[in-house]
Chains A and B, each alone.
Chain A
Amino acid sequence: MKYILNHWPLAILFITWEIFGRIVDNKILVPMPIDTLMTLGSMIFTKQYLTALYTSLSVMLIGWLLVLLIIFFLTSITLFNKNIRYFVDYISSGAQVLPTFSMFPIFLLIFGLTIDTIYAMICWSAAWIGTVSLVSATSASRTRWEKYVINLRISKIKALTLVYFPSVMPEIISVLKNSWGASWRILIAIEMVFGALGGRFGLGALMSEQKVVYNTLEVWAILITLLFIGIIVSQGFNYARSKYSW
């Protein structure tokens, strides 16, 4: 019951949607929430929907893991040397303001119409901003706790595992959450704009295809899917974050 009560904004959203749908009174433009949910219910068991969902999630997972690999690699090397830290911070800060889609032609030239282009786009969209956040967090943690580590003569291994690493856990979870969000957004956007890339037909491509044939109910049903996935993942990260609040 408490869990349901925590999601009252969803109820507000559905009520607003219902009112808006009744005002517009055009089922092709704005289908009603109950119809949309029923469509979603029937879509869930279709092979096309499940394949698209699986494709998007699997591409997303691999892309996100690559993002995390880049973020943790770049952050780790900044710990060893002040000049490396300055270099990574400088490049990351500059690169993160470039719109991801501005890199699309370049990735397309390099990788062609393959899945690697999507991975490259996901990495570009999330790795830089994640690196900037984590480098800044590790640097702040070091500044704050280093004097304690020196004063208490804590060994390097213990300092790393019991002081510095746990002290940045909240930021690490934020980076995981934000990088997931950025990766997911860019993946769906690419799928919607370019359809099946590298032979992969994800939720964005399915949504785009349904729009072309004016299956508005299906378009909204996929939108609801994306919303639910976003909420579930976000709840997971919020739970993890609550475990590290002190």
Chain B
Amino acid sequence: MDLTVTNVSPLINATPICPGITFNVSPGQILGITGPSGVGKTSLLNAIAGLLPYSGNINRPDTFQIFQETDQLFPWLTVRQNLELVSLEYADTVEKWKLTDQLDKVPSKISGGQKQRFTLIRGIISMRPLLLCDEPLSGVDNITAVPILIDFKKEIKRLNRSVIWVSHNLSELCDICDSVIVITSEKVSQVSSPTIQKIKHEIYT
């Protein structure tokens, strides 16, 4: 099912905090959202998740999952137990991401990048049609993030999920997204086949 957002603006104290935003995300598509700090990116994500009031209309799948930068694995469980809490269908994805040998370790015994990968795998295997990601890789350096993004994108396409990916990192957005919504205080625009130059152009002009 598509996620359809029509003229939506999150409301804080009953006041719209950004111009009305319209977009559509089909299964297998990854849509990025970016813009300066405080412009309402996270609020928009929360509105889509139903955690904030909004004006306009949102038509979304019944089930979805939110990722946040502060998300973590339960530290007292092994990685395998963490994944099994959500689904038993994890072996394929873990194998594709070449992480099988890390499954029986506790999170404190694996690297930050591996933790982030397993957090994303936990979301992927949850079988939700829509994933709402709020800067999930903000704590990971670029060199570590690139292979994670490549693996994540492949898996999302394979499983036909819809993803909204909020980030400040333009290179990350260009690596993973099919199109990017750029929100500034004055306007909202959508960039297809995004490049850093195109996004910068929308932000600064």
Contacts and interface: CB of A to CB of B under 8 A. Distances in A.
A151 B131 CA distance: 11
Interface string B95-119: 0000000000011100000000000
Interface in A127-161: 145, 148, 151-154, 158
Interface secondary structure of A, over-half rule: helix
A167 interface: yes
Contact of B85 (A152, A167, A169, A246): A152
A166 B78 CA distance: 13
B198 to A, nearest CB: 33
A86 interface: no
Interface stretch (B3-11, B18-26, B69-77, B172-180): B69-77
A162 interface: yes
Given A151-B65, A151-B66, A152-B122, A246 B75 contact: yes
A87 interface: no
A166 B76 contact: yes
A163 interface: yes
Contact of B77 (A152, A166, A244): A166
Contacts of A166: 74, 76-77
Nearest to A152: B86
Contact of A169 (B65, B66, B76): B76
A153 B77 CA distance: 17
Given A162-B81, A162-B85, A246-B108, A152 B76 contact: no
B106 A246 contact: yes
Interface string B120-161: 001000100000000000000000000000000000000000
Interface of A: 145, 148, 151-154, 158, 162-163, 166-167, 169, 244, 246
6 contacts: A152-B126, A158-B85, A166-B77, A167-B76, A246-B76, A246-B106
Interface of B: 63, 65-66, 71, 74-77, 81, 85-86, 106-108, 122, 126
Given A151-B66, A152-B122, A162-B81, 4 more contacts: A152-B86, A167-B74, A169-B76, A246-B75
